Amino acid sequence: MKVDRVAIRFLRWLVFVCVLLCGALLAQQQASPTQTQDVLIKNAVVMTVTHGNIKNGSIYVKDGKIAAVGENVSAPAGVAVVDAGGKFVTPGIIDSHSHIALDDDVNEATSPITPHMMMMDAFDYQDKAIYRGLAGGVTTSLLLHGSANMIGGQAVVIKHKYGLGRDAMLFPGAPRSIKFASGENPKRVYGSRDQLPSTRMGNFAVQREALVQAQDYMKEWDNYEAKVKKGDKDATQPKHDLKLEALADVLRGKLMVQIHCYRADEFLNEIAMAKEFGYKIRAFHHALEAYKVPEKIAAENIAIATFADWWGYKEEAWDAIPWNAVISMRKGVIVAIKSDSDDFARRLNQEAGKTMRYGGATEDEALKMITLNAAWIVGVDDRVGSIDVGKDADLVIWDGYPLSSFAVPNKVFIDGGVYFDRALPGFGMPQYREGQ
C-alpha cells in the first residue's frame, strides 16, 4: 500500500512537471504567435478535397501556409517532422453556422431589425466550446447573430486558436456577414409580445420597410454629398445612423447576407426581396426544404448551410429529410453541413459522413460540405477549406477514417501551429484542469 502511494505521488509529480513543461512550451509559442514552426507532415493519407486523396502523402508547412503537398515533398533539412503514421489528414473543418463563444448574447431580441449589432462585441474568446470544437477538428467558425430578428447583427469569423487572446483568434481579412432570419422565430418572438411581426406577412413587411428606410438614407447622403461637391455651403449634413448605415452596407453589397430560412416558399420570397433591393444572398441557413426548390436556389448561386438529419423540432422543420443535402447538391446547390450547436460542432465529420448514407455523396462531396463549401459561405474559400499550396495550414490528423462514427482528431494545426494534440491533454488550455 505504501509503495503504491509513493508511486502515485511520483506519478502526480511527473504529471505536474509535464504540465509545467507544456505550459512553458505553450507560453513560448504564445509569446510570438506569428512565429509558427515550419513542419513536414509525412506518411499521411492526404484528403485534399480539391484534387483527390494522396496515399503516402506529405505536406510541407512554411510560415503557417501550405508550401507543398504531394507524394514527394522536399523540405529543408532540420524542419520538424510529424509522422502521421499512415493516418488521414484533412483540411480543418469549417463551421458555417455557429453561436459558440457568445455567452448567450446571441439574440438582441428587442427589435426585429438590428443590423448594427456586432457579434464581435459579445465574442467570449475564453469559451471552452472553442476548444471542444477544435478537439473535433474545427478550425474556423462563423459566429452568427440568432434568428429572433428579421435582420440581425453582423457576424465574426474566428479561428479556433484556443489559448490566445481575442484579436489573435479573429480570422484576418474575412469578409463581413450579416444574419437575416425568417419564418417561425421572428413571428414567435414578437408575436408573443403582441408586436409586429406575428405572421410571415408581418415578417416580410418589417424587412421591406427597413430596406426602404436604408434606400432613403442612402439617397439623403448622396444628395448631401452631391451638394457639397457642387460647393453648396448651406447643405446640412444628414444624421449618422448606425442601424441604417449597416443596412446601407447590405444594399451596397458590402455585407454577405446569411439567411435563416426553412420553407420553400420563403426561399422564393427572400430571393425576390433580394432582387427588389439589389443585394445578393450568400446562403440560406438550415434550409431544410431546399430539396423542394433546389434549381431556384442554384440559379441564384446561393449556398445552403444545413443539418444532416435534424427534423421535427418545429413545424417548419417537419418536412425535413436527411436527403436534403445530396438532392440539393445534385441540382447544383453549394451545400455545407453546419452545427448551429455547441454539441454538433464537436462532430461535424460524422454529420458529413451521413450524407454518404443518405443519397450517396462521394467521399470528396461529403468532405467538401464541412470544408471548402463551408469556406465559400464564410467567404474564405481562397484561404482555407482544402489542402492546396498557398492556403493556410489548417490541418487535422485523424486517428481513423474521418467520415465515420469512429474517428477523432489526434492533432489539429491552425496556421501551422498545433492547437490540439490528444497526446498532450490540456495542451493549449492554460488555467484549465484538463489532464490534471
Partner 1 sequence: MNQFSVLSARFSVFGSRVAAGLVFAALFACNPASAQTKAVVLKGGKVLTITHGVIENGVVVMENGKISAVGAGASVKIPAGAQVIDVTGMTVYPGLIDSETNLGLTEISAENMTNDLVEPSDEIMPHMHTADAFHAETALIPVARINGVTNAIVAPTSTDTLPGQDSFIQLDGKSADEMLLVRDIALPLNFTGEQRRRESWEKRKYPSTRMGMAAQLRQAFIDARDYEGKLAEYDKKKDAAAKDNKPEPLAPKRDLRLEALLPYLHGKKQIVLAAEGPSDLETAVRLANEFNLKIVLNHVSHSQAVLDYIAGLKVPVIVGPIYQEPKPEERFDTVYSLPAELHKRGVKIAFATYDAHGVRNLPYQAGFATAFGLPYEDALKAITLNPAEIWGVADKLGSLDAGKTANVVVANGDPLDVKTDVKRVFIEGREIPLTNRQTVLRDMYSK
Tell me which residues touch partner 1 (CB under 8 A): 99, 106-107, 128, 131-132, 135, 146-148, 184-185, 188-189, 191-192, 260, 286, 291-292, 309-315, 317-323, 327, 340-343, 346-347, 350, 353-354, 356-357, 399-400, 403-408, 425, 433-435
The three-state secondary structure class of 346 is helix
- Nearest-approach distance from CB 222 to partner 1, in angstroms: 37
Q: Give the span between the Cα atoms of 334 and 351, in whole angstroms.
A: 17
Q: Would you list the DSSP string of 370-421?
A: TTHHHHHHHT-TTTSSS--TTSB--EEEESS-SSSSS--EEEEEETTEEEEE
Residue whose CB is less far from partner 1, 62 or 354: 354
- Nearest-approach distance from CB 156 to partner 1, in angstroms: 16
Nearest Cα to Cα of residue 104 among 85, 131, 81, 122: 122
Residue whose CB is less far from partner 1, 45 or 248: 45
Please give the grid coordinates belonging to residue 157.
469569423
Q: Would you list the DSSP string of 275-301?
A: HHHT--EEEEEE-TTGGGSHHHHHHTT
Residue whose CB is less far from partner 1, 224 or 310: 310
Residue whose CB is less far from partner 1, 71 or 343: 343
Residue whose CB is less far from partner 1, 64 or 183: 183
Residue whose CB is less far from partner 1, 221 or 323: 323
- Nearest-approach distance from CB 35 to partner 1, in angstroms: 27
Q: What type of residue sits at position 229?
A: K
Under 8 Å between Cβ of 211 and 278: no
- Nearest-approach distance from CB 377 to partner 1, in angstroms: 16
Q: Give the span between the Cα atoms of 421 and 29, in whole angstroms.
A: 15
- Nearest-approach distance from CB 325 to partner 1, in angstroms: 12
- Nearest-approach distance from CB 291 to partner 1, in angstroms: 5
Q: Give the span between the Cα atoms of 74 and 76, in whole angstroms.
A: 7
